[in-house]
Amino acid sequence: MFAGLYGVVVLALVALAVVDASSHAGGGSARTNLTLMAPAAPGGGWDLAARESQQAMRSSGVVNNVQVVNVPGAGGTIGLSQTVGREGDESLLMVTGTVMLGAINVTGSDYAMSDVTPIARLADDYLVVVVPADSPFQTIDDLLEAWRQNPGGTTIGGGSLGGSDHLLAGLLARESGIDPGQLNYLAYSGGGEVTTALLSHTVHAGISGYNDFSDQIQTGRFRALGLSAEEPIDGIDVPTFIEQGVQVALPNWRGVVAPPGLSEEETQELRDIVTEMAASEQWTDAVSRNRWKDTFMVGEEFEEFLTTETARIDQIVEELGL
């Protein structure tokens, strides 16, 4: 009797293993368990995008179980290297964007966006330049004039070297007739550290995503001098640089990529998952609540954008000598 029971159990386990293997081979495991990697510390823009995606996927039932992991460091290139190292893993999506494209150049990363599988662009947010409330700079012109008079003595704080904050500082300097090579830029791990540096007057001005500074702006502890959008953004009461006569704009896009080595079916499954999430009411609410701009694109359209955007950021980095 025991021998017969043992045989039934073994056959059942073998059958389950075959079903599981079949599901895995067909890319179905991403619907069951999905990991979203934020290649930065908790609290920043990539982390926010990952956690909003997590909540939208959960609430809309797109994925059964989705978790967020943080892999900070080097403008996201440490997360990039880990993503490349998980070749063939269809259960991982990494958040990426403008910051990583610049950091790949500046840090001398061994890997580039061509080493991963493009999935989708999600949305854009925008950077803001702020100063403490007691700063003598009332407008962006005030800051730029002081910067021109003393380039090395005007300290700008922001995120990682080569990231979007650094690029924006360089673009503002160049547009204002300041040699980007004289840029006195202090890099921090995220908006929280930049906030501390501003409040302690370690830096004269700070750059980060609007959401990183929004509470301080609304309570009056920070004065916002300009926004990096091409045109005014609903819900953000900050003039763009262009509106103030400074011809600089830099959208900070967010997207997701997967490890290399995926089959066409696995890649399409991930694209379907993100497309369903982006169409959900929960994601639409997240875009509105965070004052993002919906720029969703997927598949070949995103691949083409990524190629063009990489070339654009490469050129900016080269021109600024960063």
- In this prediction, residue 106 carries a pLDDT of 87
pLDDT value at position 44?
A: 82
Q: Fold identical between 8-124+252-320 and 126-244?
A: yes
Angle formed at CA 22 by CA 35 and CA 92, multiple of 5 degrees: 15
Which of 22-26, 69-73, 230-234 has the weakest average pLDDT?
Answer: 22-26
Burial of 16 (0-12, 13-18, 19+ CB in 10 A): exposed
Where are the domains positioned within the chain?
Answer: 8-124+252-320, 126-244
Query: How far, in Å, CA of 73 to CA of 41, rounded?
Result: 8
Return d(Cα 96, Cα 114) in angstroms, integer: 13
Thinking of the domain 8-124+252-320, which architecture would CATH place it in?
3-Layer(aba) Sandwich (3.40)
Taking only the tens place, the pLDDT of each residue in 164-177 is 999 999 999 999 99
Distance CA 33, CA 256 (A): 16
What are 38's two structure tokens? 């934020």
pLDDT at 250: 95
Mapped onto helix, strand or coil, the DSSP state of residue 42 is: coil
Which CATH code fits 126-244? 3.40.190.10
Considering just the CA atoms, what is the radius of gyration of the chain in Å? 22
Q: Measure the CA–CA gap between 4 and 218, rounded to whole angstroms.
A: 72
- DSSP collapsed to 3 states, 216-271: HHHCCCEEEEEECCCCCCCCCCCCECHHHCCCCCCEEEEEEEECCCCCHHHHHHHH
- Are the C-beta atoms of residues 75 and 107 closer than 8 Å to each other? yes
54 has pLDDT over 80: yes
Residues found in the chain:
322
Which pLDDT belongs to residue 26? 39
